[in-house]
Amino acid sequence: MKQSVTVVQDEKGNFGTMVKDFVIKLIPAMPKWNGKTLVRKVLIPLASIILFVGLWHVGAKALYNIEADYKIQKALTDQGQEAADQMAACIASGDVSCQPNTLPSPAQVWTSFNTLIADHKAISADKAEFKAKTAALNAKREAEGKAPIVYTGRPSFVDQIFTSLKTVFAGFLLALIIAVPVGVIIGLSTTLRNSFNWLIQIFKPVSPVVWLLLVFMIVKTMTKDSESDSAFIISFISVGLCAMWATLVNTAMGVATVDKDYINVAKVLKLGPIQKVFKVILPSSLPLIFTGLRITLSVAWMVLIAIELLAQSPGLGSFVWEEFQNGANDSNSKIIVAMFVIGIIGFLLDRIMLTVQNMVSFNKNATA
Amino acid sequence: MEMVVEVSKQAQGHENGVVYPSDNIMLDLHDLKKVYPTPKGDYVVLEHLNLQILKEEFVTIIGHSGCGKTTMLSMIAGLNPISDGRISVLGNPIKGPGPDRGVIFQAPSLMPWMTALQNVKLGVNQVFPHASKSQRKDIAMYYLDKVGLEGAFHKKANELSQGMQQRVGIARAFAIKPKVLLLDEPFGMLDSLTRGELQDILIEIWNKEKITAVMITHDVDEAIFLADRVVMMTSGPRAKIGDVLSIDFERPRTRKSVLEHDDYYKYRKHLIDFLEH
């Protein structure tokens, strides 16, 4: 009558293999190759990208022509035929001074992307050179107890990306540290949940801009005498406060809706309150908590740009805003580059969170 | 070997005047009542329910769906408050749930994020806090072994089939050495083959441990095969004990010997007559 049971021992791999496993999980499983999957997984997505770029190109071209015609027309009515001819020639020649300012074409964006990378390489080289130059001096200054001389040049685009990532992670961590414990406590008690509900419902829809102003009011006063980087503090706290609500609500819901069977088991076994929380309630609400954290991270990344832009803290947001105000010939295409970078990073962050979520959830049915 | 078979309608505890010696009674339900308040007034699920269950006795409870069997069992477990009357274990009135009354739920109710071993150890750690770590592990492994899961200690509960999960549920319940074992239709969700296997496993462990057991079932054959007494409940509302049937087959029983016994169909007919009445 005994059923045969296969022996599967959990092998505890070392950290290296764990990381490898994680990276493998990030990449969607390779389908079996045949004609159908080739069409579905490669050709159709490729076609959609080509279609997108093509439409973009055509649209940009049309907008360019409208803008150019308008410029020539304006020269004609203001200054006569000669000025109009000059303007037409100038636009045709590709001279920077008279180019129509409109939606950049895909080619322009690609050029700007390369420019930004080249710029980053130049700045990095510059930085390395500066570091090498000041190394001896800084060692001496350190020995004397003075602050070292730091590079104060313009940050490159890639530097801005990393600054933004740093801010978003600081904000995300803040959201996690506040929302998960508070969510658990609120979730455990119906009374607390009812009494805090109004607060959550009121603050959840508040715009990032307003949070920023609120944080600004408080942090400005609190960091008056200190040397700390208040722009960074303001932006990461605002990001955290904007983004934490999803985690808070999901955690509270997860804790409040633990399967009654598990609670009954805990009751029959007379588990103490701490054991009940850590052995039963938290593990069973982990999937919902991680759903919340995933939303929190994507909200954090989304509001970050707006907040950086307003708080004048360095990062992609201020990059976009500076380029917009700069109005140089390639500013528009740099903004589009930033848009793609923001989108792709947002997508990658979401993928990472989804993978983590799938690893911790026991029902294995979280989906993209 | 002669067996005295007696279909008893009298053995209904004090309600019908039969009084067991009190030091032989494990579980005593006295004048139990359960009322659910509804907007239309109180709904009385159970009323005047009297039942005494002896030490080392296996009692199955059978009755129509919704008659209040599960309500009664969860009241014994302490998971559902008593409206009136008294439930006592060895003469002491129960106060809420506790590990002296182990429960095997209808759904296996294992923590899906834990392994089979961790699930059993969750209870063992709680009940034997003074035992050493390895002793507690040994206890958990012993019972998992008994239910035929010697190869699946480290499997996550959600990777096990329903039947295997319920085996872990059985191991978990026995491993905490309860005074009373409460089984709420534990095999109701299983296919009949698996159900048979699990009945055999259950009765095999039970023969060794002789823990007083109260089991709810819908299955007449299961009720007869496992029980010393089958308790029949009347349909609700105001359900109470309708009839009690002693099953006087010798233990240990095998399915074959039970099925081939002359009295089997007599018992079966008795139960079905009651249920169809």
Q: How confident is the model over A110-133, as pLDDT tens digits?
A: 999 999 999 889 988 888 888 888
The mean-pLDDT minimum among A15-29, A119-133, B39-53 falls in: A15-29
Q: Which residue of chain B is at minimal alpha-carbon distance from A364?
A: B158
**A175 and A240 Cβ atoms separated by less than 8 Å:** yes
* Complex confidence, ipTM: 0.84
What is the reported pLDDT for A367? 42
A44 located within any domain: yes
Question: In this structure, what token pair is assigned to residue A182?
Answer: 């508070």
Q: Is the pLDDT of residue A40 over 90?
A: no
A290 falls within a domain: yes
Mean pLDDT along residues B29-41: 91
Classify residue A259: in a domain, yes or no.
yes
Strand B58-62 and strand B41-54: the pairing is unpaired
Across the interface, of B111, B151, B200, the residue whose CB is closest to A262 is B111
Work out the percent of chain A whose per-residue pLDDT is above 70: 91
Looking at per-residue pLDDT, the higher value among B204 and A4 belongs to: B204
Domain boundary among A81, A98, A115: A98
Cβ burial, residue A49 (10 Å; 0-12/13-18/19+):
exposed
Contact A296, A246 (CB under 8 A): yes
Record: contact B201-A1, CB cut-off 8 A: yes
How far is CA A182 from each of CA A178, A236, B70, B94, rounded to the nearest angstrom?
6, 19, 36, 35
The Cα A331–Cα A333 span in angstroms is: 5
Predicted pLDDT at B4:
43
pLDDT at A240: 93
More confident residue, B29 or A145: B29
CB within 8 Å: B99 and A262: no
Q: What is the mean pLDDT of residues A210-231?
A: 80
Closest residue by Cα to residue A157 from A264, A287, A317, A269: A317
Across A244-266, average pLDDT: 92
Separation of alpha carbons A297 and A350, rounded Å = 7
Q: How confident is the model at residue A30 (pLDDT cuts 50, 70, 90)?
A: low
Tokens of B4: 């005295």
Q: A189 and A264: one domain?
A: yes
A364 pLDDT exceeds 70? no
Check CB contact of A7 with chain B, cutoff 8 Å. yes
326-365 in chain A: CB under 8 A from chain B: 362-364
Domain total of chain A: 2
CB contact under 8 A, A269 and B158: no
Q: How many CB atoms lie within 10 A of CB A297?
A: 24
Query: B7 pLDDT exceeds 70?
Result: no
Q: How far apart are CA A59 and CA A53, in angstroms?
A: 10
Measured over the CA atoms of residue B152, residue B154, residue B155 and residue B161, the dihedral's sign is positive
Contacts of A3 in chain B (CB under 8 A): 148, 163-164, 197
A251 close to A179: Cβ distance less than 8 angstroms: yes
From A50, A77, A98, the end of a domain falls on A98
For domain B13-100+179-276, give the CATH number.
3.40.50.300
- Look at A269 and B200 and tell me if their CB atoms are within 8 Å: no
Q: What was the pLDDT predicted at A365? A: 44
Over range B50-58, report the average pLDDT. 92
In-domain check, residue A235 = yes
User: Tokens 């390895």 map to which residue?
Assistant: B134
User: What's the CA gap between A357 and A289, in Å, rounded?
Assistant: 9
Q: Which residues of A touch B122 (CB under 8 A)?
A: 265, 269, 271, 279
* pLDDT at residue A328 greater than cutoff 80: no
pLDDT band at residue B6 under the 50/70/90 scheme: very low
Q: Would you state the pLDDT for residue B89?
A: 92
| Residue B14 pLDDT grade (very low, low, confident, very high; cuts 50, 70, 90) | very low
Q: What is the mean pLDDT of residues A52-64?
A: 92
Range of the domain at A50: 30-98
Residues A269 and A337 grouped into a single domain: yes
**Residue extents of the structural domains in chain B:** 13-100+179-276, 109-177
Residues A172, A276: one domain?
Answer: yes
Residue located via tokens 């004397």? A144
Tell me: pLDDT of A325 over 90: no
Q: Does residue B115 surpass a pLDDT of 50?
A: yes
**Mean pLDDT value across chain B:** 87
- Say if A12 falls within a structural domain: no
Q: A310 and A234, same structural domain?
A: yes
| pLDDT value at B11 more than 80 | no
pLDDT at residue A2 greater than cutoff 60 = no
Do both A277 and A165 map to the same domain?
yes
Test A262 with B154 for CB contact under 8 angstroms: no
**Rounded percentage of chain A residues whose pLDDT exceeds 90:** 32
Q: How much of chain B exceeds pLDDT 90, in percent?
A: 56
Kindly determine whether residue A1 and residue B200, on different chains, have CB atoms separated by under 8 Å: yes
B160-219 pLDDT, tens digit per residue, is: 998 999 999 999 999 999 999 999 999 988 898 999 999 999 999 999 999 999 999 989
Listed residue (B184, B239, B37) closest to A265, CA to CA: B184
In a domain, A56, yes or no: yes
- Residue A363: which pLDDT band, with cuts at 50, 70 and 90? low
What is residue A33's predicted lDDT score, i.e. its pLDDT? 67
Cβ proximity of A238 and A211 under 8 Å:
yes
Tell me if A165 is assigned to some domain: yes
- Residue-wise pLDDT tens digits, A174-217: 999 999 999 999 999 989 988 888 988 898 888 888 888 888 88
With vertex at residue A178, the alpha carbon angle to CA A175 and CA A180, rounded to the nearest 5 degrees, is 90
The one-letter code for the residue type at A41 is K
- How is residue B62 written in tokens? 């059978």
In the prediction, which pLDDT does A1 show? 43
User: A161 and A92 share a domain?
Assistant: no
Tokens representing A6 are 């296969």
Burial-class residue B24 by CB neighbours within 10 Å (0-12, 13-18, 19+). Answer: exposed
Give yes or no for A277 touching B (CB within 8 A). no
- The answer as to whether A2 is a domain residue is no
Average the pLDDT over A70-88 and give the result. 85
